[in-house]
Amino acid sequence: MKVIRSLSEIANEIDSDWEKVSVYARPYLDAMKSLTGVNDSYGADSGMSVVLYFLANAGTWRGPVAREIKSELKSLAK
């Protein structure tokens, strides 16, 4: 059984791996740090939209950790 991590845990791992976070992805990464899951809200945005907007703006983040975490976030957004 796979353990589901909180969005804040995932966001902290992204921040530690991605050296120069895109200015377009940064607001969504920061928002994820205050969320537990995709059903939470961040202001007027749903956690789901925060995750999807992050993924849409994280194209420059590459490597094995990026692939693994992007896959994890996509599975949470289903």
Q: 64-73 pLDDT, tens per residue?
A: 999 999 999 9
Supply the mean pLDDT for the chain.
Answer: 93
pLDDT band at 2; cut points 50, 70, 90: low
Query: Where in the chain are the domains?
Result: 7-76
H/E run at residue 41? strand 41-42
Euclidean distance between CA atoms 28 and 3, whole angstroms: 23
Q: Tell me, what's the pLDDT at 35?
A: 94
Q: Which two tokens stand for residue 17?
A: 């791996």
Q: Which two tokens stand for residue 70?
A: 């992007």
Q: 20-50 pLDDT, tens per residue?
A: 999 999 999 999 999 999 999 999 999 999 9
pLDDT band at 4; cut points 50, 70, 90: confident
Euclidean distance between CA atoms 28 and 4, whole angstroms: 20
Q: Write the CB contacts of 36 (distance below 8 Å, at least 6 apart in sequence).
A: 6, 7, 8, 47
For the chain, how big is the Rg over CA atoms in Å?
11
At residue 1, does pLDDT exceed 60?
Answer: no
In contact, 6 and 38? CB cutoff 8 Å: no
